Homo-oligomer: A and B are copies of this chain.
């Protein structure tokens, strides 16, 4: 047993007579007075497995009940270097179980599991050389433009021509786990999409009962695997055969059946998931509005991940043809505000193997820049949060400002006018006045100037601290120190082009 790694007990016993999912097998793991009971699963071929995710080293005793009655002892060794454990929510950010920071830089290969082996191998090789540490991928196969290949197997077998959720297809789950392990070896979290609407096989038309049987098996089998996140769906709001109240039911079911409490969220087409849901760990957003990171942070108090802000590519579909620069631009915008962003690539080729869904090779120019961003952000002493706007940008802020007008604002005509604005006017002001500036206490101030071609930036730094100021070109991937040991208001010269950032670090 190794801290932060899946521990597995395997038993042989007679195959279940009825459901292969709803089996009677539990195991309790105890160490130093703590104990946790986990459910086992049937893995086919008269094999039963129980998995456990140990978060602390020590001397464990375990005991199973049900189909198999067994017990034993294990010494859990401290984590091996490179094994940080599961990713957890840490306020508005994330951290691994070992306390180290995790900053998601995701990509999508939605139908990764349903490609043939050579393509999967190529995808894994690409990921090994890419800057991404999270991949969004679907359990069920995808039926959509450029995605019409028939997979070899599915999550379930059929009985009488109908999907039989009580009969998991073991080769499928074995393959899924192999993919999860491969991703783990590359340091990549698997943001596993449990449902989606792009379907010709019937998985988007399962009954509520069948969905819950599927989630039962899923949680029994995968909960002890560290690098798994639960994404209830991709575009849940397009699943017209699922009633709206199924989704909180799914979230609640998983929360009850996942003893390791993996991260969980749900991805929208247009209607955002209710991120206030207690089982939901973070905001998972489809939208172009990466400038709204702070709004989501304030509303939900959870990390904000723009898991689809369109894709770098050249598809005719409006969501699949932003430029590499614009993809990089959106990453910098989201990250400067202390949010996170997800990449996807949609360059069409004659084979119609498009990275965004099927994998293969990356040919775009954004991944190198996303690596540069990742290196830049991981070089900082802590996670960023948005710098407060000069103007109140919603009615609550207006009310607070009107009650406590800052003395230096008392005669500012714009300030006076803004206090009279309605919500719609404030929203337009927020767009006009938006400012991609983040800070980590007084240690770091990052201004990302996005498409502004300004020739200089006036930077307001604390007067009693000293800073090094760097000018960053997010496309050329350069960092240049332009000022050393400065304080208070400083003017930073800039080249007057898009994609510049200014980073002030306390020295």
On A, residues with C-beta under 8 Å from B are 197, 237-238, 240, 269-271, 287-289, 313-316, 318-319, 321-323, 326, 348, 413-414, 416-418, 421, 425, 428-429, 431-433, 435, 451-458, 496-498
A422 and chain B: residue at smallest CB distance: B271
Cβ-defined partner of A240 (8 Å) among B271, B288, B417: B417
Tell whether, in the assembled complex, residue A496 and residue B417 are in contact, meaning their CB atoms are under 8 Å apart. Answer: no
- Besides A287-B432, A323-B453, 4 more A-B contacts (Cβ < 8 Å) are A271-B421, A316-B454, A316-B455, A323-B451
Q: How far is the CB of A4 from chain B (nearest CB, A)?
A: 40
Q: Which among A288, A323, A458 has the highest number of chain B CB atoms within 10 Å?
A: A323
CB distance from A139 to the nearest CB of B (A): 20
**Shortest CB distance A353–B (Å):** 15
Q: How far is the CA of A435 from the CA of B313 in the complex (A)?
A: 18
CB-CB < 8 A to A240: which residues of B? 413, 416-417
A2 to chain B, nearest CB (A): 45
Q: Could you tell me the distance in whole angstroms from the C-beta of A428 to the nearest C-beta in chain B? A: 6
Contact A321 B452 (CB under 8 A): yes
Partner of A417, one of B237, B326, B414: B237
Query: In the bound complex, what is the Cα–Cα distance between A442 and B197 (angstroms)?
Result: 37
Question: Oligomeric state, in number of copies?
Answer: 2
- Nearest chain B residue, comparing its CB with the CB of A239: B413
Known: A414-B238, A432-B270. A452 touches B288 (CB 8 A): no
* Alpha-carbon distance A458/B270, docked complex (angstroms): 24
Say yes or no: B287 contacts A428, CB within 8 Å.
yes
Task: Please give the distance in Å from A189's CB to the nearest CB on chain B.
Answer: 27
Q: Which of B313, B414, B417, B429 contacts A453 (CB 8 A)?
A: B313
Nearest 3 CB-CB pairings of A with B: A314-B496, A314-B455, A321-B454
Taking a contact as CB atoms under 8 Å apart, the answer to whether A348 and B455 are in contact is yes
User: When chains A and B are docked, how far (Å) is the Cα of A439 from the Cα of B81?
Assistant: 63
Whether B458 lies near A321 (C-beta < 8 A) is no
Indicate if the CB atoms of A453 and B288 lie closer than 8 Å: no
Q: Is B270 touching A453 in the complex (CB atoms < 8 A)?
A: no
A287 to B432, CA, bound (A): 8
Cβ B454 vs Cβ A238 within 8 A: no
Name 8 interchain pairs, CB-CB below 8 A, sorted by A. A197-B413, A240-B413, A269-B414, A269-B417, A270-B429, A316-B456, A321-B454, A326-B451
Interface pair A288/B458, CB less than 8 Å apart = no
| B428-A270 in contact (CB<8A) | yes
Chain B residues, Cβ within 8 Å of A288: 431-432
Nearest chain B residue, comparing its CB with the CB of A414: B238
Name which of A313, A314, A456, A497 has the most chain B CB atoms within 10 A of its CB.
A314
Complex: chain B residue closest to A496, CB-CB: B314
A425→B271 contact, CB < 8 A: yes
The reply to whether B453 and A316 contact each other, CB–CB distance below 8 Å, is no
- Give the complex CA separation of A396 and B148 in angstroms: 37
Report yes or no: A455 in contact with B417, Cβ–Cβ below 8 A. no
Looking at the assembled complex, report how far the CB atom of A380 sits from the nearest CB atom of chain B, in whole angstroms.
25
Q: Are A413 and B321 in contact (CB under 8 A)?
A: no
For A425, the chain B residues whose CB sits under 8 A away are 270-271
Contact of A454 among B315, B431, B432 (CB under 8 A): B315
**Cβ of A53 to closest chain B Cβ, rounded Å:** 37
Q: Which of A270, A326, A421, A432 has the most CB of B within 10 A?
A: A270
Given contacts A271-B421, A417-B269, contact A315 B455 (CB under 8 A): yes
Nearest chain B residue, comparing its CB with the CB of A324: B453
Select from chain B the residue with minimum beta-carbon distance to A429: B270
Residues of B close to A454: CB separation below 8 A = 314-316, 321
Instruction: Give chain B residues whose Cβ lies under 8 Å from the Cβ of A321.
Output: 452-455, 496
